[in-house]
Structure 1
Amino acid sequence: MFQAVASALAGVALGLSLAAPPGPMNAIIAEESVLRGWGSGFRAGLGAMSADACFFVLALLGVVTVVRDVPVVRSVLFGVGGLLMLYFAYGTAADASAAFGGDAAVDGGTATGADSKGFRKAFVLALTNPYQILWWLTAGVGLLDPGTFALDALGGLTISTGSPVIVVGFFGGIALWITGFPAALVTVGRRVDAFAPAVAYLSAVVLALAGLSFLSKAGGMLA
């Protein structure tokens, strides 16, 4: 019983280690949340989570390792991912200007009647996000590889990797983040008028910087 609980909590921690760090995925979730509300932010999170489910299946089949073994594939992924991030950065800045510049109806700090494409954006971007794929080649390997390891600091409590319990915990950790993160943003945005515009424009900056960084890496790989 304790081993199952420990394995589930380890899975939650792994899920949060992928979903919580600042980056392009959370920039899209933040943009959707502050512009269109919790539902749109959650759907964007589901897009990224769906991509992780695809990576999970590909990792089980051994397909993801092609990225590690074929440098050209890595450079193409960085290039395509970089271009997509720049494209989405432009769209995010335009949406923020429309929502907070008076060109769209705004209700409680979020644009109403706006067409949310957060799920598709996050899904496509996650599929071409090299860092997300690299996570699956590192921490993801430990998640899927059957075995056990002991936590000496907790009296030698054993955690089972490659088990259904840790996999469920992993996706539970992601679900926890994509539920709570948009809710926190929307709550703060309703209380602080300047918060939502700042988050929207910051999301555009994060996407633009990530896009430029990825393009630079792609150029370095091809040089």
Structure 2
Amino acid sequence: MVVVTALAGIVFGLALASPPGPMNAIIAEESVLRGWSSGFRAGLGAMLADVLFFVLALAGVVAVVDSYPAVRPLLYVVGGVLMLYFAVGAFAEARSATSFTDAGSADSTGFRKTFVLSLSNPYQIGFWLTVGVGLLEPGHLDVLAYAPAVGDLLEGTLVVQTGSPTLLVGLFAGIAVWIVAYPAALVSAGRRVDAFAPAVAALSGVVLVGFGLVFLAMGAVRLV
């Protein structure tokens, strides 16, 4: 069960870190414009926020967000404004970038961007209020038992021990794998195709604008 739990934790971590969104847009921008180390540092910013949320969830502090209905809409608005602000920078860099550079520069602000954005990301907070809390509570989760139609047949096949250090280590190991491998893949592609860098920066800006407008709209609806 220890091995299964560790592997399940890694899968959970990858599932948390890999979906397209504003964090991965910033990691992509940093990776192709400044190199792997800058992309990795941007990933560390998001991961550090998850570590902070984990500690707060462990202490029961994160649940306070649900006690104040106005907090989450405000987070949507703040997050949306930050995304639009970062999108302006991404478009400016797309115009000025002519090729991939492996500068790994001290000018990189990716770590600060992803960390601040993560702290105001309702989806990330929502994860630790729901799934995250479930992973922290001691018990067992029969993962495949909930599969539609075949749940009864697969019951007991994949049992994960929740609340165990093994699961949590696996979770953050999965996130770490993503923030190492994702920038590396982008850098490899960027080195082969010089035009890849400004294109990714522009696409990152588009993603940030899209999510920023969605977050602002969701926040406005909830505040009205």
How high is the TM-score relative to the length of structure 1? 0.91
Deviations 1:129-186 (A, max 9, x none): 1111111122212211110123563853432111000000000000000000000001
The correspondence of residues 46-195 of structure 1 with structure 2, limited to 5 A, is 46-100=44-98, 109-110=100-101, 112=103, 115-150=107-142, 151=144, 153=154, 156-195=157-196
Deviations 1:88-133 (A, max 9, x none): 1111111222223xxxxx5xx1274561011111100111111111
Distance 1:140 1:155 in 2: 22
Letter of the aligned partner of 2:212 in structure 1? G
CA deviation after TM superposition for structure 1 residue 188, in Å: 0.9
C-alpha contact (below 8 Å) 1:16/1:177 kept by paired residues: yes
Distance 1:57 1:84 in 2: 24
Check if 1:203 corresponds to 2:204: yes
Unaligned runs of 5+ in 2: 146-153
Letter of the aligned partner of 2:58 in structure 1? L
C-alpha contact (below 8 Å) 1:30/1:182 kept by paired residues: yes
Letter of the aligned partner of 1:23 in structure 2? G
Helix, strand or coil at the partner of 1:71:
coil
Helix, strand or coil at the partner of 1:156:
coil
Check if 1:212 corresponds to 2:203: no
Letter of the aligned partner of 1:220 in structure 2? V
Helix, strand or coil at the partner of 1:217:
helix
CA deviation after TM superposition for structure 1 residue 197, in Å: 1.8
Check if 1:33 corresponds to 2:1: no
Distance 2:166 2:211 in 1: 34
- CA separation of 1:196 and 1:154: change in aligned 2, threshold 3 A: farther
C-alpha contact (below 8 Å) 1:148/1:161 kept by paired residues: yes
Distance 2:78 2:141 in 1: 38
CA RMSD of the aligned region, Å? 1.6
Distance 2:162 2:18 in 1: 21
- CA separation of 1:125 and 1:5: change in aligned 2, threshold 3 A: same
Specify the alignment match of 1:103 in structure 2.
none
Distance 2:136 2:63 in 1: 13
Which has the larger displacement, 70-79 or 147-156? 147-156
Hey, which bits of structure 1, 4+ residues long, moved more than 6 A? none
Letter of the aligned partner of 1:134 in structure 2? G
Unaligned runs of 5+ in 1: 101-105
C-alpha contact (below 8 Å) 1:36/1:116 kept by paired residues: yes
Deviations 1:57-110 (A, max 9, x none): 11111121222332200011111111111111111111222223xxxxx5xx12
Which has the larger displacement, 162-171 or 66-75? 66-75
C-alpha contact (below 8 Å) 1:45/1:122 kept by paired residues: yes
Distance 2:9 2:108 in 1: 31
Distance 2:65 2:215 in 1: 15
